[in-house]
Amino acid sequence: MAHHAIAVMVSGRGTNLAAILEAAKNGECPVDVRVVISNKIDAPALRIARDAGVSSVFFVNPKDYKDRIAYDKACADIIEKADCQWVVLAGYMRILSSFFVNYFFNRIVNIHPALLPAFTGVDGVSDALAYGVKVAGCTVHLVSEEVDGGAILSQAVVPVLNDDSLESLHQRIQKEEYKLYPQTLHRMIEQGFSMDGRRIIWR
């Protein structure tokens, strides 16, 4: 199976990026991480990308652009020039413009630390914990214009324990993320899917 070039967009620690890079290196995920873009200059993810030898690693400063569309156009330009087939959001904490979502229509994926459609937004884990759910988890989904609202590609479930804190629950969810994200990318590339309304039908 030929490797698919992907761009990964990050804002923070980059542990999901590290899991994808590791899976690619081990032959478990047929992707070539060709570009990494961060909107935060101090994101540890940038170092992870550089240390792994990703050829194009960029901090794109939101302050250099007049609005969200101009920023997203600059990112789209980088991704296009590198000929990436997929845009993979891995802890990218910036809302994408409809320009960007439509430009890469059904080619942007995201991982969210909750079982969507419950607990959308930036505080998915703490919202789930405060609500009192007994199972939490993570979701890999296509990105649509609605935040955390695109079609669901895969989900993994983790139990919520009596003594869970935000940190312990997030840690357990992240352990699942590190398996689920590379597996889902693998499946997208090897199997492919069709769509029936919101439903992803794996081939």
The one among 91, 137, 150, 182 contacting ligand GAR by CB under 6 A = 91
* C-beta neighbour count of 99 within 10 angstroms: 14
Known catalytic residue at 4: no
Angle (deg, nearest 10), helices 166-190 and 124-131: 120
- CA nearest neighbour of 65 among 89, 97, 109: 97
Size of the residue set binding ligand GAR (CB under 6 A): 16
Report the C-alpha gap between 6 and 168 in whole angstroms.
Answer: 31
Q: What is the DSSP annotation of 29-43?
A: S-EEEEEEEES-TT-
Q: Backbone dihedral region of 14: left (phi > 0), alpha (psi from -120 to 50 degrees) or beta?
A: left
Q: Does 154 bind ligand GAR (CB under 6 A)?
A: no
Stretch that binds ligand GAR, among 59-67, 77-85, 108-116, 159-167 (CB under 6 A): 108-116
Q: Please state the closest distance from residue 151 (CB atom) to ligand GAR, in A.
A: 16
Q: Does 149 bind ligand GAR (CB under 6 A)?
A: no
- Given the residues 3, 4, 112, 170, the one annotated as active site: 112
Degrees (nearest 5) of the Cα angle 156, 159, 163? 145
The one among 34, 107, 112, 187 contacting ligand GAR by CB under 6 A = 112
H/E stretch holding 98 reads: helix 98-103
The one among 13, 172, 179, 186 contacting ligand GAR by CB under 6 A = 13
Q: Please state the closest distance from residue 89 (CB atom) to ligand GAR, in A.
A: 7
**Taking CB under 6 A as the criterion, which residues in 49-88 touch ligand GAR?**
none
Residue closest to ligand GAR when measured from CB atoms: 91
Q: Which DSSP category does 94 fall into?
A: S
Nearer to ligand GAR (CB atom), residue 81 or residue 135:
135
The residues assigned a catalytic role are 112
